[in-house]
Amino acid sequence: MTAFVERAVDFYLDYLSANDAGLFLPTSIKSYLDGRLGQLEERLSSLAFRQAVEQDMVAGILADAYQFSDEDLRRRRAESVQNVKKTNGRVSLEQRVRGAWEEDDEWQD
């Protein structure tokens, strides 16, 4: 067992000193990982773009329609942070509008 740990430590130290994982990974695995990381980058970029479009739509609609006080903006930011956490970042204008309609449908005394 000691020899195994010693070889593992030596490998890790060689890996750190080489500063290039390509020296330790077969070409096929490196190519596969590069491809998967490229796909992930594209998906994340697309998601970030769609979120920015949604955010810009909402900001434009609100800026055109209302004037908010600083207190309103602080309260809304806190609510938005909670909504994003609760939905794991998958919030859309359509979901928020439907949610607002449902809240308005409640019985009020």
Tokens of 68: 């908010």
73 plus 59 within the same structural domain: no
Report residue 109's pLDDT band, with 50, 70 and 90 as the boundaries.
very low
Please give the average per-residue pLDDT across 95-104, as a whole number.
Answer: 75
CA-to-CA separations, 71 to 61, 68, 79, 86, 103, in angstroms, rounded: 19, 8, 12, 23, 22
pLDDT reported for residue 43: 94
16 plus 41 within the same structural domain: yes
pLDDT in tens, 32-88: 888 999 999 999 999 999 989 988 998 889 888 988 889 988 998 898 888 888 888
pLDDT reported for residue 67: 86
* Closest by Cα among 83, 87, 93, 91 to 61: 93
60 plus 72 within the same structural domain: no
16 plus 62 within the same structural domain: yes
Alpha helices in the chain (DSSP H): 2-18, 27-65, 70-86, 93-104
**Cβ neighbours of residue 24 under 8 Å, at least 6 residues apart?**
11, 14, 15, 18
pTM value is 0.45
61 lies in some domain: yes
36 lies in some domain: yes
